[in-house]
Amino acid sequence: MALAAKKTTKAAPRPPKGTGSKTKAVPKVKAVSKVSIKANLKEGELGKLRIRISAYENKVLDALVKQIVDTASRYEARVRGPVPLPTGIKRYTVNRSSFIDKNSREQFEMRIHKRLIDILNPSPKIVESLTNLSLPSGVHIDVKMM
């Protein structure tokens, strides 16, 4: 039995990674720390106020958002928003009867509507007027200074 010689061919060498036309050069981003951001702010200016508002009823929520935006615009502040955030839905399933009829159930749900407002460079007058606003029941507000 004679052994047949195998014919081998080498594939063309591949170009090095990152030199192809499909890849793009990624620009380097300079890291910024919180300390340098605070140093850039002048005295008397805050960075921004981020206000997250959540409520069970959207009409009450929209009325409060309009009141906050009107208050901020009265003192000539720049306002971003209101941005509607995804509505949170909590669903509960319970049995209708306590003993028989396991297949008979009721479903309840609570919807939590949310909005986000940014107030850029708020003055102390704006912060004071926002703290004096009266909140309707069922409304929750988170305020962050950034």
pLDDT in tens, 34-72: 444 444 445 455 688 999 999 999 999 999 999 999 999
Sign of the four-CA dihedral 122, 123, 128, 130 = negative
Angle between helices 58-74 and 124-131 in degrees, nearest 10: 150
Per domain, the residue ranges of the chain are 47-96+104-145
Q: Is 137 helix (H, G, I), strand (E, B) or coil?
A: coil
CA distances from 83 to 2, 53, 90, 114, 126 (A): 80, 10, 21, 9, 20
Give the best-scoring range by mean pLDDT among 7-21, 31-45, 68-82. Answer: 68-82
CATH number corresponding to 47-96+104-145: 3.30.70.600
CB distance 73 to 107 below 8 Å: no
